[in-house]
Structure 1
Amino acid sequence: MPNYLDVAQREEILQLQQTFTGRTEWPTWLLLIGVYPSWFAVLLASPRLGLWPSTALLIPIVTLWMSVQHELLHGHPSRFVWLNKLMGYAPFAVWYPYTLYRDSHLLHHRDEDLTLPGVDPESRYFSRRDWPNRSALVRAVQRLNKTVPGRLLLGAPLGLLGLAREEGRRLWRGERQAWLMWLSHGSLTLLMLAFIAHYSVIPVWHYLLLISVPALSLGALRSFYEHRPSALPEQRTVLNEAGWPWRWLFLNLNLHLVHHDLPKLPWYFLPRVYRARREDWLARSGGYLVKGYGELARRHAVNVVDSPQHPFA
């Protein structure tokens, strides 16, 4: 646990972890039991449901699946890395292999490197040296990506372009790990798409472009203003007091500072730990508070949330 926690806070968290829920992690097991059958059930029922109702159901299911994968890579509900990998490898979201997401995200949890371009793998900023050298078109696109509508429209495509560029380089260099990862992920994805084509009314192209990409866009909304540049690492991570549909979809990752400080704490304990000492968390974050995604949408429908150029990197 972080050193800044006092004895009472440590005791509160240890008590939570020793409860029946903390020891068995049954909420996460229940999630896994629910998400897998839900995905299959919607596809198999799609001939009766129709194309667009099935699409409307699958987008949040795939988004929730990505949140479940995030829990798995942090060691929930099993303490066995191989078992969590096995449970999380299903390519429902198509584009990101589980192990690639796991390894890059764990690097992102080095809080002293948060937001630093070229160091934090999830940074959305450019260095002061790099930004002026970008073309006018790139700068305009990146500024648009700093608004909520732009993030929903461009966040997923920009992320996929970055993924293709980085992983293409690894494959071109002949990195064995990259080839094995993409061959295994690609094989499973092809099997999944064959299942979709055979047992559902959803065309493969429709699933790729109109289900998986919108699901990525919803995930991009969560990370839209998740971090900011700050001299103090603990003030770089947001506390977003989102409403229940978003809290459920993102498994409470809106309380992102709590998660970064306590990455081994499961999703269902994050709100309880936050509410118990809300003022302490707000002070630690330096007042980095957002009152829900509706507030973000109102404030940044047109106005950029911050500059794409990192202020001190």
Structure 2
Amino acid sequence: MSHYFDAAHREEIETLRQRLTARTEWPTWLLLTGVYAGWFGLILASDRLGLWWSTVLLIPLVVLWLSVQHELLHGHPTRWLALNKVLGYAPFAVWFPYTLYRDSHLLHHHDEDLTIPGRDPESRYLTAEHWQRSSVFKQVLHRLNKTVLGRVMVGAPLALLALARKELRRLQAGERQAWLMWLTHGALTGLMLAFIARFSVLPVWHYLLLISVPALSIAMIRSYYEHRPNARPEQRTVLNEAAWPWSWLFLNNNLHLVHHDIPSLPWYDLPKAYRTRREQWQARSGGFLVRGYGQLWRQHGLRAIDSPQHPFH
């Protein structure tokens, strides 16, 4: 546990961990079961729901699935990484294999590297050299991606293009792990798409382009201003006091500094951990506080929140 916590705070966290919900992880088991049942139920009921109602309901479910995968890679609901991998490998969101997401995200939790291009795999910033050699078109895209509307419009395509470039290099280099991962993910995705084609009214292209991509775009709203450059690592991570439905879709990961400080704490305990020490968390963040995603939409829907160029790396 972080050296930041005093003895009383450590005791509060340990008390949360010793509760029945923490020991059994039943909320995560229930959520995991619900998402699987919901996905298969919506696919099988799509002929009665119709194409567009199925789409409207599947998009937030896939967003929720991405949040569930985040819990799994952090050791919930079991301590066995292999079992969590099996539970989380379903390719409902299509584009990112579970193990790729897991390994990349755990690297992101090296807080001393947060936001630094080339070291933080989830950084949305560019080095000065990269920025200066970018074409005007690419600079415009990156600036657009620094607005909320732009993040929703171009965030997912930019992320998928970057993923494709990086992973193609690994495959071309003959990396065995990359080939095994993508062959496994490709086979499971093919089976899923065949199931969709056979048992639903959803065309495969519709699921790929009008369900999985919009779900990824919505999920990227959470990461829009999740981190900022700062000399102090603990002041690089936001506390976003988002309300329902965002806090539910993101499984309280909007309280991101709490999650980074205590990554082993399950999603349902994050709000209580924050509320009991709210002023201290805010002081630790250096005032990096956002009062909900509505604030971001109002202030930065069309205006870039900062520069795509990292200020000191």
Using the size of structure 2 for normalisation, the TM-score is: 1.00
What is the aligned partner in structure 1 of residue 92 from structure 2?
A: 92
Superposition pairs for residues 9-24 of structure 1, below 5 Å?
Answer: 9-24=9-24
Amino acid at match of 1:289: L
Matches of 2:293 and 2:156, distance apart in 1: 18
Secondary structure, counterpart of 2:45 in structure 1: helix
Identity in percent: 70
Matched, 1:197 2:231: no
Q: What is the root-mean-square deviation of aligned Cα atoms in Å?
A: 0.5
SS at match of 2:129: coil
- The answer to whether residue 229 in structure 2 is matched with residue 229 in structure 1 is yes
Q: Counterparts of 1:2 and 1:301 in 2: how far apart (Å)?
A: 35
1:72-111 per-residue CA deviation (whole Å, 9 max, x = no partner) reads 0000000011100000000000000000000000000000
State the shift of 1:129 in Å. 2.0
3-state DSSP of counterpart to 2:164 = helix
Structure 2: runs of 5 or more not aligned: none
> 2-side partners of 1:201 and 1:169: how far apart?
36
Q: Tell me whether 1:291 sits opposite 2:281 in the alignment.
A: no
SS at match of 2:181: helix
Runs ≥4 residues deviating over 6 A:
none
Whole-angstrom distance in 1 between the partners of 2:80 and 2:301: 43
2:58 aligns with: 58
Alignment correspondent of 2:311? 311
Runs of 5+ consecutive residues of structure 1 not aligned to the other structure: none
Give 1:244 shift.
Answer: 1.4
Aligned residues: 313
The answer as to 2:274 corresponding to 1:271 is no
Residue 159 of structure 1 aligns to a residue whose secondary structure is helix
Q: Distance in 2 between matches of 1:137 and 1:156?
A: 17
Separation in 1, partners of 2:3, 2:148: 36
What amino acid is the match of 2:295? E
Deviations 1:125-147 (A, max 9, x none): 00122211111000001000100
Q: Aligned pair 1:47/2:14, yes or no?
A: no
Task: Indicate whether 1:25 and 2:25 are aligned.
Answer: yes
Counterpart residue number, 2:145: 145
Return the TM-score normalized by structure 1: 1.00
Separation in structure 2 between the aligned mates of residue 119 and residue 157 of structure 1, nearest angstrom: 22
* Structure 1 position 301, deviation (Å): 1.4
